[in-house]
Amino acid sequence: MKDNIEKTTIVLFSGELDKAIAAFIIANGAAAFDQEVTLFFTFWGLNALRKDEHVAVKKGFLENMFAKMMPRGANKLGLSKMNFGGMGPKMIKHVMKKHHALSLPELIELAKEQGVKLVACTMTMDLLGLQKEELMEGIEYAGVAAYLGDATDAKVNLFI
């Protein structure tokens, strides 16, 4: 076993299902390589961390609009190509099941189990009006400095 632990950091900026799946597959793969993995969620990527159920929190008008218009959780994300008004994600989920590929919620669970650090960007949470209560348990909250702290000594840095 090697003494020096390698690191991988991934920024998930996008809020589409296919891109989130790619990010989580790489994160899980890197964790299986005994690496320390940080997945940093910012802007639309934060939607992958939202709880599916409605959480009653106090919000302003704009924040409420954002909350209604953005997908609520990993199961509701659309595709970046061939979304077809929501039919695309249904088809891809069907095909994934057929090929025994893990679903996005399963990939997220696996990442947590493997010790992948999931970090929500607090600045964009404020912009989109997302509050801690609306995001899943077991994640961390930080800003660009914490991300850079991890990324500086990581050999793999991805922006998805």
User: Residue 36: beta bridge partners?
Assistant: 7
Smaller CB distance to another protein: residue 57 or 102? 102
Smaller CB distance to another protein: residue 3 or 53? 3
Nearest Cα to 122, choosing from 112, 132, 134, 133? 132
The answer to whether the CB of 13 falls within 8 A of the CB of 159 is yes
- List contacts with another protein (CB under 8 A): 1-2, 6, 25, 28-29, 31-34, 99-102, 110, 114
Smaller CB distance to another protein: residue 102 or 127? 102
The Cα–Cα gap between 93 and 17 comes to 10
Q: Min. distance of Cβ 142 from another protein in angstroms?
A: 25
User: Residue 142: beta bridge partners?
Assistant: 121
Residue 101 CA neighbour count, 13 Å, CB half: 14
Q: Min. distance of Cβ 60 from another protein in angstroms?
A: 41
Smaller CB distance to another protein: residue 18 or 134? 18
Please report which helix (H) or strand (E) contains residue 94, including its range.
Answer: helix 87-98
Task: Please list, residue by residue across 17-51, b when 16 or more beta carbons sit within 10 angstroms of its beta carbon and e when fewer do.
Answer: bbbbbbbbbbbbebbeeebbbbbbbbbbbbbbbbe
Smaller CB distance to another protein: residue 26 or 57? 26
